[in-house]
Structure formats: structure tokens, C-alpha cells
Structure 1
């Protein structure tokens, strides 16, 4: 994962309350449907959007892509921050790119399914 700014294994309690909420929403989206990933984003107005990975024969969308798409569909023009709850130790490139389409420097917090923060991508 590029540019981790928070050491691996740090509890999400060290995040701001708003960013900790994003991790909680991502975990909930993931758990609700048993997906491999859940994600959430916060837009310029403070609204949050959560999503889980979609894997159908005709459609594959990462959780972070879907959370960004939901925000854009609701009128968001900027992403302030994002979070992904994943079984992977890396951030998927497609989700990263979707966030960067709306914000060059929004932090993307990557957490394990139990909420332990694995790192934060800032570029």
C-alpha cells in the first residue's frame, strides 16, 4: 500500500471521530452482505455513503468505487475522506483511482475487518 501515514496495527481510536465513523460504516457495509470489502466516503457537505463489493457475472465493482459512485450520483463534487474494510493488506487500484478522480489528497483509511487500521493512503 503506498504512502502509509499511520503505522500498521494502530486502533482506529487514533482517527478523528469523523474518520472513525467512516471505518465503522465500511465495516458494517462489508458485514451486512458478507462481502470481501466494504467502503465508505464523506463528501464536501459531510454526507456519508457506504457500499460493499459487487461481484456478479456481468458486473464487478469494488466497494470503494461503488461508494464514490453513490456519492457522485447524489451530487458530491469532492471527497473529504474514505475508508475501506478489507481482508486484503493493500488498497485496490480501481477504488483508489475513483477517490482520486474527486480529490487528490483525501486520506483513504484501510482497515482490517475487525477495525484495526492497517494504514492511510494520502497520495
Structure 2
């Protein structure tokens, strides 16, 4: 994960959406993605006895279900210091170069994954 960088306005909006999704249900993680048309999708992690989905996986799935074919950027708000592998893989399924910003619950960006 690369060093924390100053986010542009559009990526900062993703942080706000991810924080809101996480806080709304008290989830472990929140995530948001922006597709090729500028549409945004936010989600929280889900942990049920029969289903576990990371916030980033769910945000990507929501984008795909709405017709997205490419992602421009993604954000994960988490207490963890690293990006989960499954969420990262889901983003890379749609984009090999979209930045994935990892932020703390307070919204401060911890770093960015670009690969």
C-alpha cells in the first residue's frame, strides 16, 4: 500500500459515502466505488451465518448489478491497516488501475493501492 495522499473532491466523496455506510449499521467496514459514468455505490460488510461479504465486494457487486463495466476509484473505511484480498480482487476484476484508498474510521487516508 502506498503512502497516504491528498484525495481529489470525487475520491473524498467516496470516503464520506463509505463512512456513512459503515456507521449506519455499525459494520466492521464500509466501502464505496465510482464507476465509469461517475455513479457511486456504497456498502457495508455483511456477516451472517450463511453469508460473509466484505464491504468492497458488496460495493463492486452493486455497481456491476447496475451495469458498471469499469471502476474509476474505490475506498474502504476500516479499522484494519491493510486492504482485504477479496475486495481488492473484486475491484481488479473491473479495473487494473483504479486506485483503492484505505481510510481509518475518522476518514483519514492510510494509503492507496494502485496495483
Report the Cα offset of residue 36 of structure 1: 0.5
* TM-score computed with the length of structure 2 as normaliser: 0.98
Count of residue pairs the alignment pairs up = 115
Aligned position for 2:34: 42
Q: Which structure 2 residue ranges, 5 or more long, are not aligned?
A: none
* TM-score computed with the length of structure 1 as normaliser: 0.91
Report the Cα offset of residue 21 of structure 1: 0.2
Report the Cα offset of residue 97 of structure 1: 0.1
Deviation >2 Å, runs of 4+? none
1:58 matched to 2:58 = no
1:107-122 equivalent positions in 2, closer than 5 A: 107-122=99-114
* Offset from partner CA, 1:59-88 (integer Å, 9 cap, x none): 000000000000000000000000000010
Q: Which structure 1 residue ranges, 5 or more long, are not aligned?
A: none
RMSD: 0.8
Aligned position for 1:106: 98
Report the Cα offset of residue 119 of structure 1: 0.2
Aligned position for 1:93: 85
- Give the counterpart of 2:18 among 23, 26, 29: 26
